[in-house]
Amino acid sequence: MIDYLIVGGGMAGCNLAYNLLKNQRSVHMIDENSPSAASNIAAGIYNPLLPKHHKVAFQAELIYPIIESYYLELEQYLGETVHFKQPIHYYIETQAELNDWSAYAYNSNLSHWIEVHTSRSDYQFKANNGFLKIKHSGWADSKKMTAAIKAKLALEGALTNAYFDYSELSITDTEINYKGIKAKHIVFCEGCDLINNTINTNLELKPAKGEILIIKTELDIDYIAQQGVYMVPLGNQLYKVGSTFSWDVLDETPTEAGKKEICFKLEKFFKGNYDVVDHYAGVRPSSGDRRPILGALKPYNNAFVFNGLGSKGVALAPYYSSLMTHHLINGIPLDKEISTERYKNKTIGL
């Protein structure tokens, strides 16, 4: 009997599997590896700043300092480069905004996270009111990372590449049984497809569709540029540019409207010529309260969920997959704000 059966192999499932293995637990993953899974689409940026709110993200002081060391260690395990530490240059539109940012950075602990620059950073950008250099930032190739972790699992016979059929699952107090795979515990990490899970109907996901472009341009920068949209340098003059947010149509189809919106915002701040060479869409597994969702699925004592990574899977996976691992192995309690406990008064299906 294995220790943990994991359903879903995106950023949540893969990073959880890695942490469990690191802690000498056995795992088996079932993943259908949908090409449009959020982890296969994401730009992968991690950015602690919430510019519209002039503050840093929820639990930023816990989450961001460990990202670099976590991914370095993961890269050693995988033998592949999947993470790129890079500053973000967030262009400021007006002089008034620049003055505000200077005051915020001076009066708060924001100076730990940002530097305010009054000069422009590259002549190819239109903004000439300076920029914020965001520290503790960068990006990770979540598609390559999850594929590499799954390749490791496959080598150990610990991956089933298939759809998980909920009707075949049996859970008793002492055993999980899925088509003859026996486990002590099961952890659901299906991203937006949580909606199909016959147990999890009480958890509140508020998924957000996003579209993203790959463009080719002669720009050569070693930072992520941002104003309205971001430009992530991929090398060979290729950049990821995005992304859109919509909550009504939740399919995975790239649209003309999405492309137009991204190009419009890009041309507002970028002067260069470019060609669109690719266009993707996916759905982010955001929660209603924008907090990750970790913990037990009552009434079971051996069924769990790790989801709700929303638009920040790359930033959140290192800290929360490790927290989830310690919760699973050592029973370390989870804050109510992130735990499934916050849904306990809602009805549970099955």
Ligand X SMILES: Cc1cc2nc3c(=O)[nH]c(=O)nc-3n(C[C@H](O)[C@H](O)[C@H](O)COP(=O)(O)OP(=O)(O)OC[C@H]3O[C@@H](n4cnc5c(N)ncnc54)[C@H](O)[C@@H]3O)c2cc1C
Residues 122-161, mask of contacts with ligand X (x by CB under 6 A): --------------------x-------------------
Q: Which C-beta is closer to ligand X: that of 173 or that of 256?
A: 256
The answer to the question of residue 321 lying near ligand X (CB under 6 A) is no
At 77, phi and psi to the nearest 5? Answer: -65, -40
**Residues forming beta bridges with residue 282, ordered by sequence position:** 210
CA distance 292 to 213: 27
Residues 11-30, mask of contacts with ligand X (x by CB under 6 A): xxx----------------x
Compute the least distance from the CB of residue 35 to ligand X, in Å: 9
**Which residue's Cβ has the minimum distance to ligand X?**
10
Contact indicator for 146, 29 with CB cutoff of 8 Å: no
262: Cα separation from own chain's centroid: 20
Give the interface size with ligand X as a residue count (CB under 6 A).
47
The answer to the question of residue 311 lying near ligand X (CB under 6 A) is yes
Contact indicator for 298, 340 with CB cutoff of 8 Å: yes
What residues between 45 and 104 interact with ligand X by CB under 6 A? Answer: 45-46
58: Cα separation from own chain's centroid: 14
DSSP, res 339? B
At 311, phi and psi to the nearest 5? Answer: -95, 15
What residues between 161 and 180 interact with ligand X by CB under 6 A? Answer: 163-164
Q: Interacting stretch for ligand X, rule CB under 6 A, among 7-15, 168-176, 255-263, 291-299?
A: 7-15
Tokens of 297: 């699925």
Tokens of 234: 């991929």
Q: Interacting stretch for ligand X, rule CB under 6 A, among 76-84, 123-131, 292-300, 303-311?
A: 303-311
CA distance 41 to 37: 7
Q: What is the CA radius of gyration of the chain?
A: 21
The answer to the question of residue 264 lying near ligand X (CB under 6 A) is no
The answer to the question of residue 39 lying near ligand X (CB under 6 A) is yes
Tokens of 12: 């949540």
Q: Interacting stretch for ligand X, rule CB under 6 A, among 60-68, 99-107, 208-216, 294-302?
A: 208-216
Give me the residues that bind ligand X (CB under 6 A), please: 7-13, 30-34, 37-39, 41-46, 142, 163-164, 189-193, 196, 210-212, 242-243, 282-285, 307, 309-315
